[in-house]
Amino acid sequence: MATFFGEVVVAPSRAGVDDDEAAEETPEDREIRRELEKKREVDVQWSWRAGAASQSAAEEPISCSKFVVAVGHNAAAFLSSFILDSVCWEVVGVVKLWNEWCRTSNTTNVLPTDSFCLFYRLISDPTVLLCQCSCYVAEDQQFQWLEKVFGCMKKEGLQVTVLSTCPVAEYKTQESTLTLPSPFLKALKTKEFKDPVCCPLLEQPNIVRDLPAAVLSYCQVWQIPAVLYQCYTDVIKLDTVTVEAFKPLLSSEILKSLVKDTSESTKILKKLLTTNESHSNIYI
């Protein structure tokens, strides 16, 4: 978990076993554990590597100037509505993973309710990458995700922006959360990030969790300029108001040059919501 307020927060983990448990482990137990670990491996597949001329070329880190990561359905819908355009962007990567909470979709033609993690590259500037991550990355899978995604990029000249959502009930303040104008944005940045932020900074003693925290902590360690914009909302599902709460970021240094014609954005967002509702009704 990331705070950057001076303390180190260690999250509890069930990934390891103590000596007594290891001593009592049978060969069958070890085999089951190995199979489970193998099943929980994070597989990151890049299309540009599949077509590389040689193995060394495939393993060469790519130059990346901007990397935007949208975590969760609302953040992903914001990129789909205001940034992504099939004419200007191409899918260049996909993450396959499994855990207790999700199994990623096996197609790149995803629905808003699907669990997926896709990477897009700007055709006119291949150094700009976007990631839509609507799947839950478990605690024991986050390090794999970071190593395999950022391991493909040169860290020099890289700048990272993370978008995510969080229940407003988790926001710690002396005021009553019932009086807060939900949804609202808060920012948390690494020491190296020098650009102006588009909303107030996250106050102590608030923290961020899961993949957004892991990405920001990774950037802090590697001295990569990065900023997280977290939207606190009282709506859990895909929601127009929550998606549009990210709109102030369209004027940020990293996004303003990527904004498409916003006249169609509302239509695209409504279409996403309609598709989401239709797909959800199947399971009612």
Residue by residue, pLDDT tens for the chain (284 residues) are 665 554 445 555 545 545 555 557 788 777 777 777 778 899 999 987 555 544 444 578 899 999 999 999 999 999 999 999 888 999 999 999 988 888 876 666 666 566 789 999 999 999 999 999 999 999 999 999 999 999 999 999 999 999 999 999 899 988 776 777 889 999 999 999 999 999 999 999 999 999 999 999 999 999 999 999 999 999 878 889 999 999 999 999 999 999 987 666 666 666 666 655 554 444 33
Task: Determine the Cα–Cα distance for residues 236 and 89; give it in Å rounded to an integer.
Answer: 29
CA 184-188-189 angle, to 5 degrees, is: 145
**What span, in angstroms and rounded, lies between the C-alpha atoms of 232 and 182?**
7
Q: How far apart are the first and last CA of the chain?
A: 35
Distance CA 160, CA 188 (A): 12
- 247 Cβ partners below 8 Å, 6+ apart? 82
Pick left, alpha or beta for residue 115 (phi over 0 → left; psi -120 to 50 → alpha; otherwise beta): beta
Tokens of 218: 């990774």
Compute the C-alpha angle 2/146/94, nearest 5°. Answer: 130
Q: What is the pLDDT of residue 82?
A: 93
In angstroms, the Cα distances linking 179 to 124, 141, 173, 237 are 45, 37, 11, 21
Q: Does 60-104+111-279 carry CATH code 3.40.50.10900?
A: yes
pLDDT value at residue 282: 40
The CA-based dihedral angle spanning residues 71, 64, 151, 74, taken in that order and rounded to the nearest 10 degrees: 0
Partners of 96 in beta bridges: 43
Strand 226-233 relative to strand 159-167, pairing: parallel
Dihedral sign computed on CA atoms, order 278, 98, 63, 2: positive
- Residue 87: the pLDDT is 85
- The pLDDT value given to residue 53: 44
Give the separation between CA 79 and CA 95, rounded to whole angstroms.
Answer: 18
5 DSSP assignment = S
Specify the pLDDT at position 19: 52
pTM of the model: 0.82
Tell me the C-alpha distance between 26 and 32, whole Å: 10
Phi, psi of 108 (to 5 degrees): -90, -5
Looking at residue 178, what is its pLDDT?
72
